């Protein structure tokens, strides 16, 4: 930000530098920088993201979950997307196996959805 002139050092740590710049204690933004990468697209799917979205709880029984389950199994064409994956405990994941929800007789406690950026970043 200092190199691009987006920010200036208002207050620096005494006697400390980072390259040719003083180590800042206080920065002042000169102009606003929009984060199109964050607000223009939806978050990419990840196992860690599913874990955060479900707050670490199994989508079937509510106990702590550690595995990712595909609502429509991969063996039946299900993809690794936000809308098709949930967090599951090992017991529930094994119970459902490669069957559909109807075939397994299980119900979801939560509806799979695309989470917001704030939710994934823990804000």
Q: What is the DSSP string of 64-78?
A: B--EEEESS-GGGT-
Number of domains in the chain: 2
d(CA 69, CA 88): 6
Q: Is residue 1 part of a domain?
A: no
Q: What is the pLDDT of residue 36?
A: 64
CATH code (residue 70):
1.10.30
| Token pair in block for residue 103 | 């075939």
Q: Is residue 73 part of a domain?
A: yes
Together in a domain, 49 and 28: no
Q: Is residue 38 part of a domain?
A: no
Q: Is residue 11 part of a domain?
A: yes
Together in a domain, 49 and 20: no
d(CA 109, CA 48): 19
Together in a domain, 60 and 107: yes
Q: What is the pLDDT of residue 18?
A: 86
The DSSP H or E segment spanning 121 is: none
Together in a domain, 28 and 77: no
Together in a domain, 67 and 13: no
Range of the domain at 25: 7-33
Together in a domain, 57 and 75: yes
- Written as tens digits, the pLDDT of the chain (123 aa) is 888 888 899 999 988 988 888 999 998 988 776 666 666 678 899 999 999 999 999 999 999 999 999 999 999 999 999 999 999 999 999 999 999 999 999 999 999 999 988 888 876
């Amino acid at each position: 930000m200092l190199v691009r002139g987006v920010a200036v050092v208002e207050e620096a740590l005494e006697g400390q530098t980072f390259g040719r710049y003083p180590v800042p204690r206080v920065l002042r933004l000169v102009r606003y920088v929009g984060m199109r990468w964050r607000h223009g697209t939806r978050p990419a799917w990840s196992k860690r993201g599913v874990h955060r979205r479900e707050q670490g709880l199994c989508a079937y029984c509510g106990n702590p979950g550690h595995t990712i389950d595909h609502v429509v199994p991969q063996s039946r064409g299900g993809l690794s997307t936000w809308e098709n994956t949930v967090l599951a405990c090992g017991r529930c994941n094994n119970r459902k196996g490669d069957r559909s929800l109807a075939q397994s007789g299980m119900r979801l406690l939560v509806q799979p959805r695309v989470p917001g950026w704030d939710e994934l970043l823990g804000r």
